Structure 1
């Protein structure tokens, strides 16, 4: 066995779900970040375990034809992107491969049709959201993204995957905040006021919103300083920046948002975005897809699968992006969303688009389906977070057995896992469409259609409106 400090020559013959290259030494698996399939490299181990190791590239002995220079000067350190060193053709091929690996090896799905991946209309400057971390580290204020695998802030000046509007706002905000008296958060001591800055932009209106995420309620002098610099930002970005929000998050965890939010400067707390025939409003804290043209493609794909169904249950509905499309073609829709601000945006979006056949239920999907919903649906639409569906949600689906399930996923691994559970309940995956929502990264979105393989008889759809936290619009 070679020693930990040895340099080794490796040939990369695969890629894992984190876009790391995979090599093998007499059956021993080695993961190499930044290596591409077909390359031969000189590598050095940084971690060795019983069944696998992790190595870094010392030099590339044989380079892939698909290797390209990264566009971002912070790419090697930043944790935001992991495929900038690969051509876009390679990125698409790699994502198709990762999906195939997940559904065959983890899910063991039989004979599902995997459509060719839908490329992103934009591969740079597409992202409409940025979470900027503000930390006091090494006796300095730092703004930027976390370094890969750490909470060490990389002090960036610009991000090439961000909407140019957000890059302009970021640099203006950076100049203002660095010359202010606002203190940055120190994770070790929990001291300091400002934890994050969140920025959002609209593709259709070309407007932006911003939020200061604070570690505690500000003192009067701190609030005065925040108001001063916020007013300065609004004045300097008067044509684009609609509003600046304060959010207070006293928790010690990694979740960005706290429960208290208020408008500090400007006159608007919502952005407006257009997808097809629908105009959607959303708050700076709401979930909204970061790549709007691809979000539209997702909505059209889901609509195509759902077109012949009259009663639909949508879980993890967000602000109603998919809901509006469903309501325009279905008899009625029940839309379930957990995040309270998103529920308000969802209700607003249903009303402003003139849709009167949607019932909004606010609460965790796993709680709502068992405690507040009774009856049958023709179809269920799922759009869960990366962790996938809660087990109680899958149990509920097995109980009511709709004829059709459309599963929108941003994680092939949890899609494969949940799909296997649904197959055990009598469902068959029919079609899977990958969409590249996140160019320059290894993440990929999928829309999967599953149909019931056996017929069951159920009752009529019911909803107990007295027990549900909902508004019929």
Structure 2
């Protein structure tokens, strides 16, 4: 998704692929690229930093905007650093390792500001966007990896596809994945190699193993291992169980997920236990969670505490409020806020997640809770019809933002406060504009750096119903 300020690009300016010109970089785009203007024509330059002067070479020409590569840096930013990851420029998983960390935090807050400038009618001088909250040590922070598997010249590889291609980059030691996750993936590759297990061939739609998924508990160090297969049967199941137990004692939950569809989606609908436990135990602060293989859980546990504390601050609970946790997953946000609410209710479309949420609420001695399978836009009207109206609603939707039906439901339900946790500034701003039209005021926006070195930024936005 490109973020181009409306009216900022001159359609009369024509550029061609291969054309070169000097460019001053003004800001970062939503995908982490440098943004400059060639005769008022917007140009996105991956790897360029605000304040730099570069010679840009057009790689993709368009009427509204174009993309270019750096041919030469004429004036380098003092915030430019050497990326510590040896395959940074190939992998595409991180976009900002060439910038000092403090600079990335500043630019992420600016990305949020750009989104609100473009998609809302809020006057910029009345918009309260705080400084981005970052990490003390922004490395090896991810608790989950999903590595695609292939076989090249007889060697099993596991990694990510390079940006804008279907070339698999084998990742042996990712610097943002937990070290234990890296280790389990590498050993699992070797087990597949040693047992000569068939590997899925996407072009032929044949073979067994598609993806190696690992999730690490930062609290215990235990690992949940999921093999996503294109076949019902796990090849050499008994031998594989023995090898995993022998070589990977940290794996306490070994699962199989079956995905036999021609799709880029990782998980299929069916998951079964191979050995060990069905769930992985994780703890955030004083709250414990049981996580099934497909259940959503924030990928950066350390920053999740920061994010949820900001959500609690924005909710301004007094102990009397009825709270709804929409898109609740395993109940993380709602349970984090439960000690200050009278009752928590949540919903999610994944049945396993709701089972986890109910168990998590019980295990954490939450007195009043209800978790249901389904969508918020279905359950909220039901509860209101039954006479139960929420005071505070927390939403944490996917990157596409809130479902339109949910926004309509929120406008009709009119909770006194909405806490919007977002991973996409553009859809956040669009949704906020709708809620503003329905009588809500933006009290505060707090960016949180959940994914250091990437262009992604999470926000907690506090919306208050105006009288």
Task: Check whether TM > 0.5.
Answer: yes
What's 2:169 paired with? Answer: 154
What's 1:405 paired with? Answer: 418
SS in 2 for 1:191: coil
Q: Provide the alpha-carbon RMSD of the alignment.
A: 1.8
SS in 2 for 1:318: coil
Higher mean Cα deviation, 319-328 or 345-354?
319-328
TM-score after normalising by structure 2:
0.92
Q: Could you tell me how far 1:372 is from its partner in structure 2?
A: 5.9
SS in 1 for 2:324: strand
SS in 1 for 2:17: coil
SS in 1 for 2:344: strand
Conservation of the 8 A alpha-carbon contact between 2:208 and 2:235: no
Gaps of 5+ in 1: 455-473
What's 1:449 paired with? Answer: 462
SS in 1 for 2:255: strand
Matches within 5 A, 1:236-251: 236-238=247-249, 240-251=250-261
Q: How many residues align?
A: 448
Matches within 5 A, 1:252-401: 252-265=262-275, 267-306=276-315, 307-308=317-318, 309-370=320-381, 374=385, 375=387, 376-401=389-414
Conservation of the 8 A alpha-carbon contact between 2:16 and 2:61: no
Of 424, 437, 440 in structure 1, the residue corresponding to residue 437 of structure 2 is 424
What's 1:59 paired with? Answer: 72
Conservation of the 8 A alpha-carbon contact between 1:39 and 1:62: yes
Distance 1:300 1:343 in 2: 23
What's 1:69 paired with? Answer: 82
Q: Could you tell me how far 1:305 is from its partner in structure 2?
A: 2.8
Q: Could you tell me how far 1:188 is from its partner in structure 2?
A: 2.0
Judged with a 3 Å threshold, the aligned counterparts in structure 2 of structure 1 residues 314 and 372 are, in CA distance, closer, same or farther, namely same
Conservation of the 8 A alpha-carbon contact between 1:81 and 1:441: yes
Distance 1:40 1:304 in 2: 41
SS in 2 for 1:348: helix
SS in 2 for 1:430: strand
Distance 2:43 2:154 in 1: 37
Q: Could you tell me how far 1:81 is from its partner in structure 2?
A: 0.8
Q: Could you tell me how far 1:43 is from its partner in structure 2?
A: 2.5
Gaps of 5+ in 2: 1-13
Q: Could you tell me how far 1:217 is from its partner in structure 2?
A: 1.0
Judged with a 3 Å threshold, the aligned counterparts in structure 2 of structure 1 residues 341 and 294 are, in CA distance, closer, same or farther, namely same
Distance 2:111 2:70 in 1: 22
Distance 1:14 1:449 in 2: 26
TM-score after normalising by structure 1:
0.91
Conservation of the 8 A alpha-carbon contact between 1:109 and 1:429: no
Instruction: Indicate yes or no: 2:108 matched with 1:118.
Output: no
Conservation of the 8 A alpha-carbon contact between 2:253 and 2:280: no
SS in 2 for 1:53: strand
Distance 1:79 1:192 in 2: 27
Q: Could you tell me how far 1:176 is from its partner in structure 2?
A: 1.7
